[in-house]
Amino acid sequence: MAKFSTILLASSLIITSAKAQTPPMGWMSWNAFGPNINENILKQTADALVSSGMKDAGYKYIFIDDGWPIGRDAKNNILPDPKKFPSGIKALADYVHSKGLKLGIYSDAAPKTCGGYTGSLGFEKQDAASFAAWGVDYLKYDYCNAPEDSATAKTRYNTMYKALAASGRKILLGICEWGGRQPWRWAAKAGGTVWRTTGDVRDKWKAKPGEEGMGILDIVDINAPLDKYAHKGHWNDPDMLVVGLYGRKGPASDLGGIGCNDQEYQSQFSLYCIMAAPLAASNDIRDLSETAKKILTNKEAIAIDQDPLAIQGKRVVNNDTWEIFVKPLANGETAVAILNKTNQPQQSNVHWSDLGLDGDYEIRDLWTHQTIPQIGTINAHETKLLRLKHTLALAHIFSDNMVLQRDHPLKIWGTAAKGEKVTVTFRNQSATTTTNDHNKWSLTLQPVKYGGPFEMTIHTTAQTITYKNILVGDVWLCSGQSNMEFPISGWSHVVNYQDEIKNANYPDIRLFNTAMSISGRPEADVKGGQWQPCSPATISPFSAVGYFFGRELYRNLKIPIGLVSSVWGGTDIESWTSRNSLDTSAEYHDAVKNLPRFDMDSLNGLHRERV
């Protein structure tokens, strides 16, 4: 007896914690068949899931949608329509299980479903018991014909969750109230494994102005900002994939659902994967086109969706041209999805640092399955789905031709694989450290006197990077005087500088400007070609400004010098890079104010010396 109750306790614990560790994947009957389903279609679909390779790729569920019940018997047991399911749901579940798949079913938290079929309100326990007895593994629980308010929704969903948990079988609950009651705030607590965030997706890219049905992009726009609510076992559900429907007549074809092109279907797939969305194919996979199959079975893309870290990618860029998502992955790599929303091909101009990513990366294109040197052109409505692997990298503030502050401890930092040993060699010094859990490392070298050009080598087991033409000199910090206004042409000495290095013989290089304030918005102003006087109020932190300046100089003006600031000496550059915004804190000001400043006379002096 004691043994028996222990087993019971253990199994009820398992049941009440029923959740999916990664977003559920399967096929849902609604878009291809509406309510016109039957056991043959579903069995054939189970077969097709296996023979097409979709099961291998991770699709586990056959989700029966609306249209299966016919009513209740004299004892109020819910009954499948015998015309559609002559062998009963249990036989279907057995068949599906025999293929190594799982079965999902559908009901509604009201007397009637959206299609007007029998719902479960008031019969939750009894229906959950039927589902369990049949061997059902998942319930999509809809919300048609139910009251508007959130409180009722929470209660009704939780009632069904408890009924499922008490049914003796692990049955996941999919909440489907279309986002109206902000289920992301309460659905996990109510017992939902997934919750729909939107109305029904239609088979189109984007709704025309005034058109009601939502397309792929409309749905993505609703789901994207909800990333923080998704976590392991609980997922935002932006509805089914429309991949491969090609305008097929059915629920997804109304309200303007005229179909999409393959590029757009592929985009939906990429965007769903980066958002860790449940992947429910909804086309007729008994008749799967080669392209739809290629999209739906892309294992590299699916691995992004199913990544064990279980993070919904964050949309970090959203403008008229681009949407860019970033998703950290369990092995320390990063997935990035870049969507070109326009109707023309666009040249990608993304810089990892713009996305808050430090360091250098090897880029793998998850659609061509190749490592690519750069992102290149992105077609209209195309989404590049990329996997970024850290190559050894200093933080982006470093580059060839950088200037290090003389006579100051040199704090060098960067990124590399987790736990990697990193050795930096510069002049006659060498120091070693190990990356932390966030792939970051930093170490400090002893102060160095004026001089250059030197090389700095960063070495790990995976890679060695050598930065060339490093100078040790004074880093000029803007102090706001009027003589610190630099028009573009005033940078000729910078351009010359590289030649001078090539021609060597500068053993005592003394100065290179690296910090420049441009009215607090360096990027914008450099792009516009407008130079402003620097003013102390707008130049904190100097290093950040210098970094922007150097990067923009290179990017926009094609001046082949990665001119960057290097203000060290107790400053907190690392925290700046991680926050990725200008640091205006008093601590920062205090930290930088004692750094040596360069005065214009020395600059002139240097020029004189050079002539």
Q: Name every residue whose Cβ is closer than 8 Å to that of residue 326 and which is 6 or more positions away in sequence.
A: 313, 314, 316, 334, 335, 336, 355, 356, 357
Query: Which residue lies nearer to ligand GLA by CB, 65 or 420?
Result: 65
Query: Which residue lies nearer to ligand GLA by CB, 103 or 394?
Result: 103
Query: Which residue lies nearer to ligand GLA by CB, 175 or 385?
Result: 175
Query: Residue 580's CB: how many other CB atoms inside 10 A?
Result: 13
CB of 270 to ligand GLA, least distance (A): 22
Q: Name every residue whose Cβ is closer than 8 Å to that of residue 521 and which is 6 or more positions away in sequence.
A: none
Candidates 66, 137, 142, 583; catalytic one: 142
User: Helix %, strand %, coil % for the chain, to 5?
Assistant: 35, 25, 45
Number of chain positions touching ligand GLA (CB under 6 A): 10
Query: Which residue lies nearer to ligand GLA by CB, 118 or 577?
Result: 118
* Beta strands across the sheet bearing 322-328: 314-318, 322-328, 334-340, 383-391, 360-365, 370-372
Question: DSSP assignment, residue 243?
Answer: T
Strand partners, 105: 139
Residue 474 designated active-site: no
CB of 140 to ligand GLA, least distance (A): 7
For residue 536, cis peptide bond before it (omega within 30 degrees of 0):
no
The tally of CA atoms less than 13 A away on the side-chain side of residue 252 is 30
φ, ψ dihedrals at 316, nearest 5°: -105, -15
Taking CB under 6 A as the binding criterion, the range among 109-117, 214-222, 404-412, 417-425 that sits at the site for ligand GLA is 109-117
Query: Which residue lies nearer to ligand GLA by CB, 278 or 332?
Result: 278
Cα separation of 591 and 600, whole Å?
23
Q: Is there binding between residue 30 and ligand GLA (CB under 6 A)?
A: yes
Residue 254 designated active-site: no
Query: Which residue lies nearer to ligand GLA by CB, 176 or 526?
Result: 176
Q: Is 215 helix (H, G, I), strand (E, B) or coil?
A: coil
Residues 45-64 that bind ligand GLA (CB under 6 A): none
Look up residue 550 and give its amino acid.
G
Cα separation of 393 and 458, whole Å?
8
Query: Which residue lies nearer to ligand GLA by CB, 67 or 233?
Result: 67
CB of 200 to ligand GLA, least distance (A): 5
CB of 178 to ligand GLA, least distance (A): 6
CB of 199 to ligand GLA, least distance (A): 7
Taking CB under 6 A as the binding criterion, the range among 107-115, 272-280, 502-510, 588-596 that sits at the site for ligand GLA is 107-115
Considering only 176, 280, 288, 539, the residue that binds ligand GLA (CB under 6 A) is 176
Q: Is there binding between residue 65 and ligand GLA (CB under 6 A)?
A: yes
Query: Which residue lies nearer to ligand GLA by CB, 113 or 120?
Result: 113
CB of 31 to ligand GLA, least distance (A): 8
Residues 369-428 that bind ligand GLA (CB under 6 A): none
Cα separation of 507 and 513, whole Å?
18
CB of 250 to ligand GLA, least distance (A): 11
Considering only 114, 338, 395, 403, the residue that binds ligand GLA (CB under 6 A) is 114
Residues 141-160 that bind ligand GLA (CB under 6 A): 142
Candidates 200, 358, 474, 525; catalytic one: 200
Q: Is there binding between residue 200 and ligand GLA (CB under 6 A)?
A: yes
Q: Is there binding between residue 115 and ligand GLA (CB under 6 A)?
A: yes
What does the DSSP assignment read for 398-443?
A: --TT-EEETTS-EEEEEE-STT-EEEEEETTEEEEEE--TTSEEEE
CB of 67 to ligand GLA, least distance (A): 7
What does the DSSP assignment read for 174-200?
A: EEESTTTT-GGGTHHHHT-SEEE-SS-
Q: Is 517 helix (H, G, I), strand (E, B) or coil?
A: coil
Q: Is there binding between residue 66 and ligand GLA (CB under 6 A)?
A: yes
Query: Tokens for 581?
Result: 């915004």
φ, ψ dihedrals at 200, nearest 5°: -75, 135
Cα separation of 17 and 171, whole Å?
10
Residues 550-579 that bind ligand GLA (CB under 6 A): none
Site residues for ligand GLA per CB under 6 A: 30, 65-66, 113-115, 142, 176, 178, 200
> Which amino acids are annotated catalytic?
142, 200
